[in-house]
A and B are shown apart, each in its own frame.
Chain A
Amino acid sequence: MKFWEMLSKLDRRIIFALVFLAVLLPLVFKMGLPIKGIQPPVKAIYDHIEKLPEGSTVLISITYSPSTMPELYPMTLAVIRHCFRQNIKVVCVSLGITGVGIGEMALQEAAKEYNKQEGVDYVNLGFQTGPVTLGMGQDIHKTYPTDYKGIKVAELPVMKNVKTYKDIGLIVDYTASGTGYIGTAVTMYNANLAVGVTAVGAADLYPYLQTKQIIGLMGGLRSAAEYELLIEKPDKGCIRMDSQSIAHLLILILIVVGNIAYFVTRRKRT
């Protein structure tokens, strides 16, 4: 009985330490746990990009800050890599100020691997204020007069035939919570939208998947790992899944043990 009482009064800092070890050790000593099965919403995004003809354009929208990069950056990079592999042009925009640098980092990393040229194969339009998702439906060139380096968008070859959502094969919005594209790009302009979201926000977006307002959904690190497997380029998403799995296992054990301790000590009290 003392054991269960001790457990029910366990100092939270011991739990912090256990979680810390559960995350750190698999990163140091690689385990290579298998990632089995690809979720249909993730596969749907992959299939959509696969079907896009060469030379079409995908709009990557970065609506997250560095704090959620561990989850969202691997999936951003994976989709950009997929586009470049398929010779699809990438236009990157940021709905938040902090997304500008993140988008640039992902574009440059992928461009180097696939030998793509800035301004011709991809562009980072950066950040703009105001109702951007609405404005892009009317005229992207007016909404973003210059790219993030100050070059006039009208002078960029990659933007020559990209004026509105009609010229874009797929919008992929990476966001820490909800997406602003459903109301505007999808509802008003019938654009194809996929969303990459932190695990916290994934549950809220499933209703839009069911109504087919979004064509696909990547929720959290697991989806990023799955996309990396789909494009056969395992990277940070896959590596991090070891820690994720072990930490989840620990939390499951803690929940079960905590509940047993609660019921045993409650019976004693009554």
Chain B
Amino acid sequence: MSPTDTVPAGVEEVVTTTPPVRPSTLLVRALRLWRTRIGASFGLLLVLVAILGPYLAPHSPTDFVAIPNTPPGGAAGLLGTDYLGQDVLSRFLYGGRGILVMAVVSTGIGLLVGVGIGLVAAYARNAWDDVLMRGMDVVMAFPEIMLALLAVSLVGPDPWVVIAAIAATTAPRVARVARGSAQPVVERDFIEATEAMGVSRLRILTGELLPNILAPMMVEASLRLTYSIGVISALAFLGLSSDPNGPNWGTMIQQNQIALAVQPWGALMPILAIALLTIGTGMFGDGIARTAAGVDRGRAEG
């Protein structure tokens, strides 16, 4: 038993031994659950705010609008001003895009690399399996935010450094689940049959194994996206974003936390936005997990 074989996450591990379900079918079935619908609507709402926000903002995010920390009303606008006298509403509308893009890109890279490593390890069935997975264990010995902090401390808070660090923490966790889900598939007869037909290894990995693990990978994707959003906004909150006064929900919280008692909106809006966005992706993922596992069996057999 390896130290990290247990699922650290809230979502139960799903191992499909039934024929693969098409992702679209799974999605439609999952949307019958209330939690999936609520999650999808929260997620969509915040994605819309993040993408369309900059077009709707009444001011530039860095314009001086009124005296710092003015509560809402009058010249200070719908949500008042922040610690520099900038418009909270405009900064809020601008502040989601960067987080969302970075989270999606880093999670995407992490998923691709992780699924690749997981499938290769599961199909190898030899020493490579052990070498790859022990390597993943080493990377997983760092809490998710640690690797990002290590990288940022040396290279600086460049967006690509953060993306690479988060992809590097995502990949091993994905690889573990991908390998776990692919292992029972590798043992099945149809894989042996395709091998006998002389199908290339790459085709077996992408054409035969991958479709069989799509359901757990969809669950994993939403789970990882949830964590990536958390880590990226946390880094900005710790003061580690490339633009110290850029409109970013994490940065906004850091800047306006001190004024919570006087003008709560500057910190409260981005706090609520991050909370709703992560609740959305989390509930959506849980809905898919429940649908993929069939009935709620507590924990799928591993």
Partners in one complex: no
Interface residues of B (CB under 8 A from A): none
Interface residues of A (CB under 8 A from B): none
